[in-house]
Structure 1
Amino acid sequence: MTEWLISIEGTETGHQAALVLALMAALLHAVFGALQKGRHDPWLARGAIDFCYLIMAIPFVFFVVPWPEAHMWPIFAAVWLIHVIYKLLQAWTYTKGAYTVVYPVVRGTGPLFTVFGAYLLFGETFSATQWVGIVVLLAGIFGLAVYNMIFLISERDTLHAALGLAVLTGLFVALYTTYDAYGIRATANPFTFLAWFFMIDGFVMPIIASARWWRMADRPTLGPLMVRGLVGGLVAPLSFGAIMMATRLDKVGEAAVLRETSTVFAAIIGWLFLKETVGPRRIALMALIALGAVIVEMGG
């Protein structure tokens, strides 16, 4: 499997595989976001999820994948720091604003910053047609956020803070997407990077979540919380692993843009499971997001 993946890097087969992986990551990332924003406190949910995928990663780190090369340790340190800041910002954002308002803003700013980061770090460029697709996709994403903000938002008193945090979180989405792409390309075996990433990435949030749980006057039952953590612990490696692998096989910026069709899946999940309203205008905006992604793909 590893040899085959490495052999298709930069080929048409690799491009098609990256497309499938990016869209899979989009669906799973929306599921992951809903798991963190759902019935439990976002900090507790993220702590449970991170603890579960840390435990799952340990046997792969020590018994399955090759040991990282020496030059990977400072890369892992930087990756860890970027993701810790991202997760703190993400949890803080979810405590301030409705899922269907802040999620589109985070996911809309992320690919825009990533496109520029991919140009600076990897020299990637987009065609004029692809830029049209990016504009269409972002118009749909931010249009969805504005619509939700006007008609659906209940946290009016924290709206400005939520939007500011969402933009800042989007910046760190771009930072981790670009730097993770650099990291997964820096090692001979991509699964070495993925296994070590999920082990080291899982250390901080369980500590924060535990401290928060102990301070709560009305502590939630740990059983349902850990079930959510287990589901998230299974979804996370598939979601984040898929997008990281896509950035190794093909263009970082293109994979990042295609992943943001997750906004469409997030709106559907918000409607089905979080009981958030979906009407014809929101459906039209979601169609605009999907159209932008198609244009980006067709223009490549």
Structure 2
Amino acid sequence: MTQTSIVLLVLFSALMHATWNAFLHASPDRLWQVGMMAVPQLVVAAVAACWLPLPAPSAWPLVILSAIAQVGYTASLIRAYRAGDFGQIYPIARGISPALIALAALVLAGERPGWLAAAAIVLICVGILSLALRGRHFSVDSVPAALMTGVFIAAYTIIDGFGVRTSGNGFAYIAWVYLAASVPLVGTVYLRRGGLRGMFLAPPRRVAEAIGAGIVALTAYGMVVFALQFLPMGVVSALRESSAIFAVVLGWLFLREPLTPRRVVSGLLVVAGAMLIKLGG
């Protein structure tokens, strides 16, 4: 494949990521939605875990920590989507995580950000503050949950960065993380709905949408893993941040959210800042 086709693949992955988040935001029962989305992920992870070698013993604490962070991310995302617009929440959550990762690199590894990274963090902060405004007032209900979602994204990203390197087999590590994170999500919905029959008792269209969203999320992640074989990690990560712009557009097209000039500019600032951090790294 050519470099251009790989770039387009990553951009399509970003669109898919924003799309399954839009389905989640629009769902009348978001907890049920994430539980059903986790069903195909659980199946694929279980099959992969059976065929791949076990991760190294030193990686197992990271598997557990990453799974906890993934579940925390899901819970925080559900809470944020209850209170805020999709085109507001998604860019904040995705945009703040690169800045937090850069801060963690400073604290944990002594990596001081250069002027490019510092400018990027300023762009992200300005963009987020703009997205947090509703009229002349800050949105105090949805923005904290969106920021917490970004914290969990940064947490599992950092944990997985160490986990993949220490596991001896990156795919095995990912499979076990997906398995450990999917079990509590599926189990919660299983218990709440009174068993397997209750889980699938929703209208067939909603069940198909939830399962389909889970497959879309898994496919989008697989595309990123594939692209990492051909492009530098920083480039792939930066291209993925375009999903924040897709989120603003999807919110306008399908969720009837306002597409104000300020929201567009704010989203662009967040994406530009995230790209600068990852490309600069």
TM-score range, shorter chain: 0.7 to 0.9
Distance 1:70 1:288, change over 3 A: closer
Shift of 1:266: 0.7
287, 292, 297: which is aligned to 2:268?
Answer: 287
Distance in 2 (CA, whole Å) between partners of 1:162 and 1:290 is 20
The alignment status of 1:117 with 2:112, answered yes or no, reads no
Distance in 1 (CA, whole Å) between partners of 2:49 and 2:33 is 24
**2:88, 2:248 within 8 Å by CA — same for their partners in 1?**
no
* 281-290 or 126-135, which deviates more: 281-290
Distance in 1 (CA, whole Å) between partners of 2:101 and 2:228 is 11
- In the other structure, the counterpart of 1:3 is none
Cα displacement string for residues 187-236 of structure 1 (whole angstroms, at most 9, x for unaligned residues): 2222112222222221111222344446xxxx972422321222222222
Letter in 2 for 1:52: P
The alignment status of 1:177 with 2:157, answered yes or no, reads yes
Shift of 1:144: 3.0
Distance in 2 (CA, whole Å) between partners of 1:82 and 1:196 is 14
The alignment status of 1:164 with 2:144, answered yes or no, reads yes
The alignment status of 1:31 with 2:19, answered yes or no, reads yes
The alignment status of 1:90 with 2:71, answered yes or no, reads no
Distance in 1 (CA, whole Å) between partners of 2:64 and 2:208 is 30
Distance in 1 (CA, whole Å) between partners of 2:48 and 2:172 is 9
Distance in 2 (CA, whole Å) between partners of 1:285 and 1:33 is 19
Shift of 1:58: 1.9
Distance in 2 (CA, whole Å) between partners of 1:139 and 1:290 is 12
Letter in 2 for 1:34: A
* 159-168 or 181-190, which deviates more: 159-168
113, 135, 138: which is aligned to 1:150?
Answer: 135
- In the other structure, the counterpart of 1:186 is 166
Distance in 2 (CA, whole Å) between partners of 1:255 and 1:79 is 21
**1:101, 1:145 within 8 Å by CA — same for their partners in 2?**
yes
**2:238, 2:278 within 8 Å by CA — same for their partners in 1?**
no
Cα displacement string for residues 222-278 of structure 1 (whole angstroms, at most 9, x for unaligned residues): 4223212222222223444566788998667x8766644322111011112212221
12, 15, 30: which is aligned to 1:42?
Answer: 30
The secondary structure found in structure 1 opposite 2:135 is helix
Distance 1:121 1:212, change over 3 A: same
Distance 1:294 1:61, change over 3 A: closer
Shift of 1:81: 1.7
RMSD (Å) for aligned C-alpha atoms? 3.6
Distance in 1 (CA, whole Å) between partners of 2:47 and 2:31 is 26
Letter in 2 for 1:33: N
**2:248, 2:259 within 8 Å by CA — same for their partners in 1?**
yes
The alignment status of 1:103 with 2:90, answered yes or no, reads yes
Distance in 2 (CA, whole Å) between partners of 1:129 and 1:17 is 28
Shift of 1:79: 1.5
Cα displacement string for residues 110-161 of structure 1 (whole angstroms, at most 9, x for unaligned residues): 2221211233445544331232133224423442342xx339x9xx9xx523
Distance 1:88 1:295, change over 3 A: closer
Alignment map for 1:11-30 (pairs within 5 Å):
26-30=14-18
- In the other structure, the counterpart of 2:58 is 71
Shift of 1:175: 1.0
TM-score of the superposed pair, with normalisation by structure 2? 0.79
The secondary structure found in structure 2 opposite 1:203 is helix
Tell me, which stretches of 5 or more residues in structure 1 are unaligned?
A: 1-12
The secondary structure found in structure 2 opposite 1:266 is helix
The secondary structure found in structure 2 opposite 1:161 is coil
Shift of 1:46: 0.6
Shift of 1:284: 3.0
Distance in 1 (CA, whole Å) between partners of 2:13 and 2:201 is 30
Tell me, which stretches of 5 or more residues in structure 2 are unaligned?
A: 195-199
Distance 1:179 1:295, change over 3 A: closer
- In the other structure, the counterpart of 1:55 is 43
- In the other structure, the counterpart of 2:119 is 132
Distance in 2 (CA, whole Å) between partners of 1:273 and 1:231 is 17
Distance 1:281 1:205, change over 3 A: same
Letter in 1 for 2:44: M
The alignment status of 1:270 with 2:251, answered yes or no, reads yes
**1:118, 1:178 within 8 Å by CA — same for their partners in 2?**
no
**1:177, 1:256 within 8 Å by CA — same for their partners in 2?**
no
Distance 1:244 1:92, change over 3 A: farther
Aligned length: 273
Shift of 1:49: 0.4
58, 63, 68: which is aligned to 1:81?
Answer: 68
Distance in 1 (CA, whole Å) between partners of 2:128 and 2:228 is 22
